[in-house]
Chain A
Amino acid sequence: MHEWALAEAVVNAAVEFSDKEGLKKVKEVTVKVGELQDVDRKIFRFALSQLEPDKLKDATFHLVTVKAKLSCHVCGNSWLFRKDKYDEEVSEAMHFVPEMAHTYIKCPKCGSPDFEIAEGRGVWLESIKGVK
């Protein structure tokens, strides 16, 4: 249920953003969900539905999965993260703190842990649409 905390952050940020933009009602919220963090979408969506305040009651949440793209600082190699290559314990560490990728993943070309998580790290609020 760690997803609950992330969902709470999304709802909180969405309300803050809609207040700042002067939106009376939020209609659509698009959230990018990076594959590296491996968020359980079912739990995440359930948490969003339970947490939504009045302002977000009519909002539709779109969850867009983003593949995790890693890019090596040393040799310039870029590659896509594949969850099935790692055991449950490692996946869980990256689930809670995606930066643990640097502990458990090495560049497949040069073996360096010095890479960038270029895309698909975790949860990101991509866009909000609503009415003023």
Chain B
Amino acid sequence: MVDPRPSIITKRLEGVKNIVAVSSGKGGVGKSLVATTLALALARKSYSVGLFDIDFTSPSTHVILGARDVCPREEKGLIPPVVSGLTYMSIVYYSGELAAPLRGAETSNALIELLAVTQWGDLDYLVIDMPPGIGDAMLDLIRLIGRAKFLIVTTSSKLAFETVKKQVRLLKDIKVPVLGIVENMKIAGSDAIKDQTKTLGLNFLAGIPYDPNLESAIGHPDKLLTTTLGKASKIVASSDTFSC
């Protein structure tokens, strides 16, 4: 007759003031790094912050955070552990080192399950690391959490921004708020993405050049915040866009 789980999702998130979905129509643009670093930067500003990795088939935020030997506690649901100051939830607690080969309907089911049973408590921000694309995960998030606001990540490549433009137009059409665009791995000297972002009527939140020190900072949250990505994330976290 009816799946009971979606009915409780609003209640599970009632203590969360702001929900930010870090998304991109295109893969490989650095969503997980941007989501994790933004969450860390917000937490360093003394906000209470959660990070939810819903890229179920290729989760990576646990690697970025260097999260090891942690798992949720059972108490009237699942209470996520705190990792580097973030209330952190990932499917990797259950899949471990193994692949989770899920079709679209199964990713939806897993998302509904985790949204229904995770007890987030009181948070200023819940940052959601989305899988790439304009498919199941984005549509599910909009359906299940009506108040999520999207932060879109692109690279300087026309190939990435072509899809991002389509994604932004769709989100605008269906009246989903877009906080702005982050240009990651920015090509020096080009303002093309910044200019086009303004043409789309959106905030250009940051242009972040590739930092050769980034790879060695993965797994070390404090070091991550010293990279160009970390410094830009701190500026974004201090901007009016994130004034809680």
Contacts and interface: CB of A to CB of B under 8 A. Distances in A.
Interface in A81-116: 92-93, 96-100, 102-104, 113-114
Contacts of A122: 113
Contact of B7 (A9, A103, A127, A128): A9
B100 A99 contact: yes
Contacts of A102: 100-102, 106
Interface in B1-29: 1-5, 7-8, 11
A13 B234 CA distance: 41
- Chain B: number of interface residues, binned into ranges: 20 to 34
A97 B100 CA distance: 11
Contacts of A16: 7
Nearest to A123: B4
B191 interface: no
Given A9-B4, A97-B114, A104 B98 contact: yes
- Chain A: number of interface residues, binned into ranges: 35 or more
Interface string A1-31: 1101110111011101100000000000001
B100 A103 contact: yes
Contacts of B91: 97, 100
Interface of B: 1-5, 7-8, 11, 56, 74-78, 91, 93-95, 98-103, 106-107, 109-110, 113-114, 116-117, 119
9 contacts: A4-B77, A6-B4, A13-B3, A96-B113, A96-B117, A99-B110, A103-B95, A103-B98, A121-B109
8 nearest A-B residue pairs (beta carbon): A5-B77, A13-B4, A93-B94, A9-B8, A4-B76, A5-B117, A13-B7, A99-B110
